[in-house]
Amino acid sequence: MAKINFGGVWEDVVTSEEFPLSKAQEVLKNETVAVLGYGVQGPGQALNMKDNGIKVIVGQREGGASWEKAIKDGFVPGKTLFPIEEAAKKGTILLYLLSDAGQTQMWPTLKPYLTKGKTLYFSHGFSITYREQTGVVPPADVDVILVAPKGSGLSLRNNFLDGSGLNSSFAVFQDATGKAKDKTLALGVGIGSGYLFPTTFEKEVYSDLTGERGVLMGCLAGVMEAQYNVLRKNGHSPSEAFNETVEELTQSLIRLVAEKGMDWMYANCSTTAQRGALDWKGPFREAVAPVFEKLYESVRSGEETRVVLSVNNAPDYREKLDAELEAMNRMELWQAGAAVRALRPENRKKK
C-alpha cells in the first residue's frame, strides 16, 4: 500500500503501482467469477473484468430485460450466461450484485452453493452489516469480501473505457482461506478501480447511505428545488431559475471542483461570487448540520434499513416508485431542465 496525505491525515491506498493488473490476473487465473445480478453494478463490473482477461460468467433470471441486456453485451446463454443458481454453482467467486432487497430474498436459494473455499463478494455493506434484519449470514468456511465503486455501474464502465478508472473502497469481513485480501484487491483492480482505499463493511454502508440520502442525491435535489422555487416566486423565468440552479452547477462549476478542488473553483469565479459564497457557506452548513446528524443516526440505528426492506419488498413497490419518479419528472423544475438540455448545441445538432 502507498501512504497518501489526505489534508493532514495519512491513509493507506492501493494503486496500479502496488497491485498491477498482471498481478490481479495471476491471483484470479484459476477462479471463475460469477456475477450474480445484471442490473446497476453487474454490467460494468462484468464487462470490465472480461476486458481485463478475467474468466467471468453472469447469473441472471432467464428471459427478463437484464438477461437480454447481458446477451447484447456479449454473454452467451449456456456458455457465459446462466440462471442464477447454475452460475452460483459454477462460480468460485460469487459477486452478489442484486439489489439489497433482492439479496435478502435470494439468500436462502444462494446459500447452499457457498461451499467451502468459495468467495462471497459484495459491493455494498448493507446485507452483512444489517444481517439481523436481512438474514444474510455466510458460512464460516468461505471468504467474505467487499469492493465498492464510488459511483454507478455505468460510470464504472465509462471511466474504464476512457482510461480514468473509478475509485473504490475495499474490506475483508471473513478470511477463511488466508487469501481473501489478495482476491479482494485483484477484483478491485479487475473491475477497473482508479485506486482502492480500505474500509469496513459497517463504515462503507454508513457512509454510503448517508451520502446518497445527503449531498449526492437527497440533499442535492432538495436544495435545488428550494432555490428554484424561491427564484420563481420572485418573478424569475423557468429558464433563468433552472440555469442559475442546475445548469451552471453541472455544466461549469462542478467540473472545476472535479478538476482541482473547491478552492480552485472559488478562485476562478468573480470576486462578487467569491465573497458571497464565503459569507453564506457557513449559514448553510449550520442549517443542514442537524439534518445530517439525524440522518446518520437513522442509518446507524438500522431504521433506514427497515424502511428500505419494508418498501422494496412490497408487491406494488415498482408501481409506487415509478409514480414517485414520474411526479418528480413532472415538476416545472425538471420540465424546464429538459427544455434547457434540448437547447444545448450538441443536442440541437442531432435534430
Cell of 314: 412490497
Structure confidence at residue 143 (pLDDT): 98
Q: Are 56 and 44 in contact (CB under 8 A)?
A: no
CA atoms of 219 and 225, how far apart (whole Å): 10
Cell of 159: 471511466
Question: Which of 53, 14, 19 minimizes the C-alpha distance to 33?
Answer: 53
Angle between helices 303-312 and 100-110 (to 10 degrees): 80
Structure confidence at residue 296 (pLDDT): 97
> What secondary structure letter does DSSP report for 245?
I
Q: Where are the domains of the chain?
A: 2-199, 211-348
Question: Which of 295, 293, 323 minimizes the C-alpha distance to 311?
Answer: 323
Question: Which of 296, 139, 294 minimizes the C-alpha distance to 205?
Answer: 296
Asked if CATH classification 1.10.1040.10 holds for the domain at 211-348, the reply, yes or no, is yes
Question: Which of 148, 150, 111, 117 minimizes the C-alpha distance to 30?
Answer: 117
Question: Which of 92, 90, 74 minimizes the C-alpha distance to 82?
Answer: 90
CA torsion angle 231 232 234 240 (round to 10): 60
Structure confidence at residue 313 (pLDDT): 85
Structure confidence at residue 145 (pLDDT): 98
Question: Which of 188, 171, 37, 180 minimizes the C-alpha distance to 118?
Answer: 180
- Per-residue pLDDT tens listing for the chain (351 residues): 788 888 888 988 999 899 999 999 999 999 999 999 999 899 999 999 999 999 999 999 998 999 999 999 999 999 999 999 999 999 999 999 999 989 999 999 999 999 999 999 999 999 999 999 999 999 999 999 999 999 889 999 999 999 988 999 999 999 999 999 999 999 999 999 989 999 999 999 999 999 999 999 999 999 999 999 999 999 999 999 999 999 999 999 999 998 899 999 999 999 999 999 999 999 999 999 999 999 999 999 999 999 999 998 889 999 999 999 999 999 999 999 999 999 988 887 776
Amino acid, res. 306:
R
191 in helix, strand or coil?
A: coil
Structure confidence at residue 8 (pLDDT): 87
CA atoms of 156 and 165, how far apart (whole Å): 7
CA atoms of 265 and 280, how far apart (whole Å): 16
Q: Percent of the chain scored above 90 by pLDDT? A: 87
CA atoms of 211 and 197, how far apart (whole Å): 17
- Residue 72: C-alpha distances to residues 8, 68, 77 (Å): 47, 6, 11
Amino acid, res. 289:
A
Just list the catalytic residues: 124
CATH of 2-199, one of 3.40.190.10, 3.90.110.10, 3.40.50.720, 3.40.50.1820: 3.40.50.720
Structure confidence at residue 19 (pLDDT): 95
What are the phi and psi torsion angles at 150 (to 5°)? Answer: -90, 65
**Residue 28, CA atoms < 13 Å, CB-side half-sphere:** 32
